[in-house]
Structure 1
Amino acid sequence: MSKPSLTLKLATPRGFCAGVDRAIQIVERALELHGAPVYVRHEIVHNKHVVDRLKGLGAVFVKELEQCPPDRPVVFSAHGVPKSVPAEARDRKMFYLDATCPLVSKVHVEAERHHNEGREIILIGHAGHPEVIGTMGQLPEGVVKLIETAEDARTYTPVDPKNLAFVTQTTLSVDDTSEIVGILQSRFPEIAVPHKEDICYATTNRQDAVKQVAAECELFLVIGSKKSSNSQRLVEVALRGGTQVAHLIDDATQIDWDWFNGVSTVGISAGASAPENLITDVIAAIGARFETEVHETGGVRETVVFKLPRVLTEASA
């Protein structure tokens, strides 16, 4: 029997971003230089497959520094950490490597600058996300106020409406954040804005790529972890863009083939912490059941590369 036909629209770019790639390389290089085990505080990035592969190489993932012996290297995740974490590591004389994405570090610097200039600081983000915890933890408790929704922006009451600033989590929905920022700027015209967009280039590019094809797809699959903010946002963007059904899946094993009933065009993207092999596995799994015609969208070509910490590059040299 011949297989039914199916068109696949691959949103480009998709998958790994420069910050994720750098964080993974930091753990790998630390293992090469220092041997196993290397400890990692929290998941280095939000992807089970990445974490499991690094575990296989000798990485040990922990929740807090107190679980790490003082004589082994420890890596901080790409999402960033409160200032108290490296301070504790220094007190214990630990060798630590900070894998915080440089674009997250930029937000940290902005928040500190606003605080030093006496402004009240708003952080637009999702409560409980590691990046938000890390950003709020750059300053004394209570200094940074979190706004999650447009309604929060409408009801927020600052101490001094003329002395405000905002920063944002880097992995938010561009459209949702624009709405929140618009409300804040309408209510507080003098609010200080970031020198450059806080939402990172990779988040923006992946959302734009999904928007390009969403309306043409009856079904959209986003490969990524449910813990991953940027992956969750891609599902939302696909649905808003006109896709009838969208699902977030860890890998090909989570595909429900009933989703494909009556479907002729499927969109595929992947969050910034999803490795390429997961994408190819999904395409192969679909190809085993359907006669597929694959179309790659012409998206932005990403050339950003972030340098590894000098202590790793010098040791390698």
Structure 2
Amino acid sequence: MSLPPLTLYLAAPRGFCAGVDRAIKIVELALQKWGAPVFVRHEIVHNKFVVDNLRAKGAVFVEELSECPDDRPVIFSAHGVPKSVPAAAEARAMIAVDATCPLVTKVHNEAARHSAEGLQMVMIGHEGHPETVGTMGQLPDGEVLLVETEADVAHLQVRDPERLAYITQTTLSVDDTAGIVAALQARFPAILGPHKEDICYATTNRQAAVKAIANKIDALLVIGAPNSSNSKRLVEVGRAAGCAYAQLVQRADDIDWRALDGIKTVGITAGASAPEVLVNEVLDAFRARYATSVELVETAQENVEFKVPRILREA
């Protein structure tokens, strides 16, 4: 029986970013250096496959520092942590390794710098997301106000409209954020923004690649975790760019084949915490059901690399 033809458009860049790569490497190097178990506060990155692999090697994932023993190393996830967490680890004389993405640390430093100059911060982000919690936790309570939507801007109660600056979560939708920034600037003309965009290069590049394939495809599959902010944004960007069907899948097993019935073209991308092995798994699943041809659509090349912390570079 001959298989129906299908064209797959593979977005590039996709998958792991430099910050995720570094965070995973940090856990692996820590296990090599200190042996198992190594404790990790929060999922190191938002991907079940990655977390399960590290767990099999001896990493223990916990939500709070209080769940960690004093005598084992603890690693802080790529999303960053409130200032109180490293302080608590230091008070307990723990070995702590910070896997916070350097681009998130840049936002933390920016917030601290503005605050030192007496400015109140407005953060554009998702309430409860670990990155937002970590960034807001760099400053005392009340110094960072959170907005999630343009509508939230109208209700902001600020200390002094002339003394404000804004920062953003690094994994937001570029287009949605632009609307919120415009609303902030309209209401608070004196508000200061970051020197360089807070939304990270990887988030921006992956969204641009989805926009480049959106008008060629009947359906879009984004490989990523349901708690991954940047992966969920890719689904939204695909829909906003006119893709009628856009779906987040963790693995090939999650694909809803009935929803893809009768289609001729599918776009495939992966969030910044999804490994390429899962992309290949999805491609194989399509090859088993269709006569596929694969077209790569590359909109940028990435060659960013971040060093691991010094404590892991020392023998």
The bucket for the TM-score relative to the shorter chain is over 0.9
Give the TM-score normalised by the residue count of structure 1. 0.98
Residue identity opposite 1:274 in structure 2: A
C-alpha displacement of 1:219: 0.7
Alignment of 1:132-281 (within 5 A): 132-281=132-281
1:50 and 1:175 map into 2 onto residues whose CA distance is: 29
1:76 and 1:159 map into 2 onto residues whose CA distance is: 32
C-alpha displacement of 1:185: 1.0
SS at match of 1:11: strand
1:258 and 1:104 map into 2 onto residues whose CA distance is: 40
1:32 and 1:231 map into 2 onto residues whose CA distance is: 30
Aligned residues, how many?
Answer: 315
C-alpha displacement of 1:158: 2.1
2:302 corresponding residue in structure 1? 302
Residue identity opposite 1:86 in structure 2: P
C-alpha displacement of 1:159: 2.2
1:172 and 1:50 map into 2 onto residues whose CA distance is: 22
2:11 and 2:259 map into 1 onto residues whose CA distance is: 19
1:97 corresponding residue in structure 2? 97
* Cα contact 1:219–1:259 (8 A) shared by 2: no
SS at match of 2:112: helix
Residue identity opposite 1:177 in structure 2: T
2:16 corresponding residue in structure 1? 16
- Alignment of 1:115 with 2:115, yes or no, is yes
Alpha-carbon RMSD across the aligned residues, in angstroms, is 0.7
- Alignment of 1:131 with 2:128, yes or no, is no
Residue identity opposite 1:40 in structure 2: V
- Alignment of 1:5 with 2:5, yes or no, is yes
2:286 and 2:173 map into 1 onto residues whose CA distance is: 28
SS at match of 2:181: helix
Residue identity opposite 1:68 in structure 2: C
SS at match of 1:61: strand
1:191 and 1:64 map into 2 onto residues whose CA distance is: 35
C-alpha displacement of 1:69: 1.0
* Cα contact 1:206–1:234 (8 A) shared by 2: yes
C-alpha displacement of 1:161: 1.2
1:177 and 1:280 map into 2 onto residues whose CA distance is: 32
2:191 and 2:42 map into 1 onto residues whose CA distance is: 34
2:256 and 2:149 map into 1 onto residues whose CA distance is: 32
Residue identity opposite 1:53 in structure 2: N
What do the CA deviations read for 1:176-217 (whole angstroms, capped 9, x no partner)?
Answer: 000000111122121111011000000000000000011211
Please, which moves more after superposition, 183-192 or 284-293? 183-192
C-alpha displacement of 1:67: 1.1
Residue identity opposite 1:204 in structure 2: T
| Deviation >4 Å, runs of 4+ | none
Structure 1: gaps of 5 or more residues: none
What do the CA deviations read for 1:53-91 (whole angstroms, capped 9, x no partner)?
Answer: 000100001111111111111100000000000000001
C-alpha displacement of 1:155: 3.0
* Cα contact 1:50–1:275 (8 A) shared by 2: yes
SS at match of 2:43: coil
1:289 corresponding residue in structure 2? 289
Residue identity opposite 1:48 in structure 2: K
C-alpha displacement of 1:255: 0.7
